Amino acid sequence: MQRRRQPIAVIAASLLALILSGCAASAPAGSGSGASGPGVGGSVAPVDTAPAPATPTAPAAEPARSSATCGTVLTADEYARIADEGLALDDDPYLLGPVMERMAGAGALVCVWSKPASDISAWYARLEVGADGETWLTELEAEGWLEDTERGDGTWLAPVEYDSNYQPSVQLRDGVLHFASYNRFLESVVELQ
């Protein structure tokens, strides 16, 4: 269920009313504007001392989330190739190694296309890391990942022993970490075009 956000003016007015009601309630008798001098018990309008209703605080603005899905992250040509090879989106995918598992644990979009009754799959993960992107790359480098200087596009390759059948790649761009089961697959990611 999504909460309806209150306009800032409504919240500010509610807070001001709450503050003023607290000040008026704690003022000594005879100090209101109806008093005619010190110690005079003139008539002061009664102040409602009931607590003001709680004012909902506006939720903190969430960072803009991408609308990327497993059906939109790749180019049309790549989706056609995947279909031609008999791969389909896997509902219960096996994650390709510890980096993909960490990304999934951090809330990444995880997409795995698999060919039924085979061990053929294509893996992709997308994680918005923002300013922590360099931290991710530093950790990968410590784990033996190497920058692919031949490509020169900021792609990093997993160590050869990462998986016996695949050498995954990652690329960091615009605060988003992209993971793919093989280097060429990154070329089909729309955001990396």
Query: CB atoms < 10 A from the CB of 27, how many?
Result: 11
Tokens 């000040």, residue? 23
* Residues 140-160 pLDDT 10s: 999 999 999 888 888 999 999
User: Nearest-CA neighbor of 171 among 139, 144, 133, 143?
Assistant: 133
- Split at pLDDT 50, 70, 90, the class of 126 is very high
- Dihedral Cα 152, 101, 180, 125, nearest 10 deg: -100
User: Nearest-CA neighbor of 65 among 130, 125, 3, 123?
Assistant: 130
Tokens at 168, concatenated:
């995954």
Comparing 6-20, 67-81, 85-99, the range with the smallest average pLDDT is 6-20
Mean pLDDT of the chain: 76
* pLDDT score at 163: 85
Residue 140 corresponds to which amino acid? L
Give yes or no for residue 187 having a pLDDT over 60. yes
Residues above pLDDT 70, as percent of the chain? 66
Give yes or no for residue 25 having a pLDDT over 50. no
**Is the CB of residue 187 less than 8 Å from the CB of residue 179?**
no
Query: CB atoms < 10 A from the CB of 100, how many?
Result: 24
Top pLDDT among 177 and 12 is at 177
